[in-house]
Amino acid sequence: MKKVIIIGASSGIGEAMADVFARHGYILGLTARRIELLNKIQSRLNTKSYVKYMDLLKPEESINGLEELIKEMGGVDIIIINSGTGHEGKILDFQKERTAIDVNVLGFTAMAIAAANYFEKKGEGHIVGISSIAALRPYRSAPAYGASKAYISFYLEGLRHKFAQQKQNILITDIKPGYVYTPLTQHHEKMIWVSTAQKAAEQIYDAVAKKKKHAYITKRWFILAWLLRITPNFIYNRF
């Protein structure tokens, strides 16, 4: 049986991915800060699973936690880095912006490095990073969130280039979701093409199973992504 670790699995897309991968017969490793929620998820899964407390605001401890979880599971095939946070508001708040950077940049980097080093030693593997459609253009409502998601996409591209140059069999998948109904978006009033977490998780699973390099979730966000890339700044800045 294949094994997958989902980092940030206590709610939203991460929780939904746990259900989807379990349904497809994967052995799961689930991590999050809210261990009580992980235990609830674990209790309903129909496959073998492991849970591990992990707080990406503590990156060094998280690296140790991931390495311990991999050993407990007897190795893994896929590591999905899903943890992320952000805040929208007209007034910038340094502490909230800093938290987004600490989790989405430093925390993500810690997990990506730990995953990459493990798979390099193993000789194969698959790293999946959850970025965002917000990574494509500056995001005025949440500058740190958009910038940090752009960092994730560029970091994943750097890893892909590294492994390709070294001719290593390590796959990299960059997932860019649009709006998804999750605790992170529950107070967001203006959303289009909104997906349920379940539908998003199904499409993420499909992208991972097909070993895609990039995927927009849901698929139609590819259209808006194309428009965002070609829209001149003088038009983009009006919206």
pTM score, whole prediction: 0.89
* Banded pLDDT at 238 (limits 50, 70, 90): low
pLDDT for 236 beyond 50: no
pLDDT for 105 beyond 80: yes
pLDDT for 221 beyond 70: no
- Residue 195: give its domain's CATH number: 3.40.50.720
pLDDT for 228 beyond 90: no
- The residue with greater pLDDT, 85 or 116, is 116
pLDDT-above-70 percentage for the chain: 86
Q: Residue range 144-148: average pLDDT?
A: 92
Distance, CA of 179 to CA of 189 (rounded, Å): 11
> What is the model's pLDDT at position 80?
98
> What is the model's pLDDT at position 92?
87
Q: In the numeric block, which tokens belong to residue 113? A: 């490095």
Collapsed DSSP state (helix, strand, coil) of residue 53: strand
pLDDT for 6 beyond 60: yes
Q: For residue range 41-70, list pLDDT tens digits in order.
A: 999 999 999 999 999 999 999 999 999 999
Q: Residue 212's closest CA among 176, 180, 178?
A: 176
Least confident of 72-81, 148-157, 215-224, 230-239: 230-239
18-39 exposure pattern, b = at least 16 Cβ within 10 A, e = fewer: bbbbbeeebbbbbbbeeeebbe
pLDDT for 28 beyond 90: yes
Q: Measured over all CA atoms, what is the biggest interatomic distance in the chain, rounded to whole angstroms?
A: 54
Range of the domain at 203: 3-236
Q: For residue range 127-143, list pLDDT tens digits in order.
A: 999 999 887 766 777 88
The total of structural domains in the chain comes to: 1
pLDDT for 230 beyond 60: no
